[in-house]
A = this chain, B = another copy of it.
Amino acid sequence: MSSEERLELLQGTLDLLVLQSLRRGPAHGHTIMQAIERRSGSVLHVEQGSLYPALHRLIKRGWITFEHGTSENNRRAKYYELTAKGLKQLAVETSNWEKLASAIARVLRPA
């Protein structure tokens, strides 16, 4: 009933969203969460318990790196940044997402 409905993420989409968010430059975790939420029109909501494991996963795979820094609010923060490998991965995942989404659209389309 509420027009503020928030949906759970589909498993596998968070990496894509995070990589895309870092495309415009380094950002720390809090910012990334807010950016995804804002840019999705408040439809997507990323929990901290999803985001931080995802960031660590991306680091492990060499798709992002981080540096320590200070946030706009004067807190200690880690600034995450896309690597060259991560930029390539973003292209791959974007392409896969588009293929998947259009494949599902074809199945859903009333024949």
Contact = CB atoms under 8 A, between A and B. Distances in A.
Secondary structure dominating the interface of A: helix
Interface residues of A, number: 31
Contact of A41 (B7, B96, B103): B103
Q: How many copies of this chain does the complex contain?
A: 2
Interface in A54-90: none
A36 B94 contact: no
B10 A103 contact: no
Contact of A107 (B10, B39, B107, B111): B39
Contacts of A97: 104, 108
A58 B41 CA distance: 31
13 contacts: A7-B96, A7-B100, A10-B10, A13-B104, A16-B104, A20-B107, A24-B111, A36-B107, A41-B103, A43-B99, A94-B108, A101-B104, A101-B105
The 8 closest A-B pairs by CB, nearest first: A11-B11, A43-B103, A40-B103, A10-B10, A39-B107, A10-B12, A44-B103, A101-B101
